[in-house]
Structure 1
Amino acid sequence: LHRGSGLPNSFITCIGGICGVLFYYLFLTERLTKQELSKSSIVLQQLPDLMGVKHIYLNLIFGLTFISIAFILEYFFPYENDLILSDGFQISSAWSPALCGVGIGLLQLFFMISFKKSLGISTGFTVIVAQACRVQFFKKLIPSLESFTYGIQNSLTLLFALAAIAGSFISTVSTNQFPLNEKYGANVWSSFFGGFLLLVGARCAGGCTSGQGISGVSHLLIGSLIATAAMFGGGIVFAIGYGLITNDWHFHDL
């Protein structure tokens, strides 16, 4: 998304992400998958199965609840307020977060019905790196990447990632914000290591905020619920710590 919006050093973040994928499959994947989880493991189970409830009922309950919460929050805390400075000047425009969330959910539904494929961004980086396995040397060096090299499922994952870049570009251009200026970005080293850690973490967890948070949670997978809670929990802890240290609770200097 940052790449599509022209954010400075976003390309460096992508390079860091690619290096993170290489690091994971070169040094971590065999250690982490040496003892695979049994199919009876709770993290591989779905919440409806554990509760003995039909999937469609629990999915409807969760879906309607979350959609209602999103629109209620948007009603009482309008997102437009975040776009206005203290002097009343509107710095940018944006789309409704609640409607965008519903749109992503419908996109997930389309992918599942049409292609039996869930959404996910971090796997797109894996697919990019896996193309090196078309060369025999890399195929022998990183055999665990071979499964990401070919096939329509991998092509769709890459297409989804590229479409996200294109969508970000269209969004920023249509709102006269392209390219995003430096205040929204980070320096070179922070960009690189941020991308590196992000992809290492996503591969270790088996998915990123889109793979686990959107796709996994939509299936009510226990492991995805745990991973998503940990992601948001970690972000909240960081935000509190950052605010206490800098007294910048609006994160203007972040």
Structure 2
Amino acid sequence: MSIDLAHFTPGLSLAGGLLIGAAAATLVFFNGRIAGISGILGGLLGSTQKDAAWRVAFLAGLVGAPALAALLGEPIAPDIQTGWGGVLVAGFLVGIGTRYASGCTSGHGVCGISRGSVRSLVATATFMGSGFLTVFVARHLLGG
């Protein structure tokens, strides 16, 4: 195994992690809500729209931050090694997984584990294990 030192950015990764933690803590302290993206989006798409303003603001920040970064500097283009069909299938499977797990990696992994939730620990371990297994199968068994 080798590390691609041109793309190894521990400082930026730490800063990103701190910002995610600060956003999650701010949402809990000021709104009493967990920063789980699937729950935030699901609540916005649900039948009651009483708390839509903060949900729209949170989701706009998720989309707006990379757009702003692209305007201020060199845009970061992810290296996705599949076509749109693969991306859509992957997104659909992630959506199914978030429903079965009653939350997504952000809700369970960032917020749930920090609150000491055993359910979140199990869900995050399952998410991670599934991801490891998928990459292994795709790269080593399917010849990808």
Greater relative CO, 1 or 2 (CA 8 Å, sep 6+): 1
Quick one: distance in 2 between partners of 1:231 and 1:177?
A: 28
Unaligned runs of 5+ in 2: none
Task: Tell me the TM-score normalised to structure 2 length.
Answer: 0.80
SS of structure 2 residue aligned to 1:81: coil
After the TM superposition, which of the residue ranges 154-163 and 196-205 deviates more from structure 2?
Answer: 154-163
SS of structure 1 residue aligned to 2:134: helix
Quick one: distance in 2 between partners of 1:129 and 1:100?
A: 28
Quick one: distance in 1 between partners of 2:119 and 2:14?
A: 25
Distance 1:115 1:185, change over 3 A: farther
- Partner residue of 2:7? 83
Cα deviation, residue 112, structure 1: 1.3
SS of structure 2 residue aligned to 1:198: helix
Structure with bigger gyration radius: 1
Q: How many residues align?
A: 143
The equivalent position to 1:241 in structure 2, one of 121, 137, 142, is: 137
Q: How does 1:125-204 map to 2 (within 5 A)?
A: 125-130=41-46, 146=47, 149-152=48-51, 154-177=52-75, 180=77, 183-184=79-80, 186-204=82-100
Distance 1:111 1:162, change over 3 A: same
Cα deviation, residue 128, structure 1: 4.2
Checking the alignment, whether the CA contact within 8 Å between 1:121 and 1:157 is kept in structure 2 is no
Give the alignment's Cα RMSD to 1 decimal.
2.8
Checking the alignment, whether the CA contact within 8 Å between 1:123 and 1:157 is kept in structure 2 is no
- Partner residue of 1:119? 35
Cα deviation, residue 227, structure 1: 0.3
Cα deviation, residue 101, structure 1: 0.9
Letter aligned with residue 81 of structure 1: L
Give CA-to-partner distance per residue, 1:157-212, whole Å, 9 cap, x none.
Answer: 3321221000121223333226x37x536423222222222112112211111111
Give CA-to-partner distance per residue, 1:131-161, whole Å, 9 cap, x none.
Answer: xxxxxxxxxxxxxxx3xx2222x54233212
Letter aligned with residue 119 of structure 1: A
Q: How does 1:46-85 map to 2 (within 5 A)?
A: 81-83=5-7
Unaligned runs of 5+ in 1: 1-76, 85-92, 131-145, 249-254
Letter aligned with residue 109 of structure 2: G
Quick one: distance in 1 between partners of 2:6 and 2:104?
A: 26
- Partner residue of 1:100? 16
Cα deviation, residue 82, structure 1: 4.6
Identity of aligned residues (%): 20
Quick one: distance in 1 between partners of 2:89 and 2:116?
A: 31
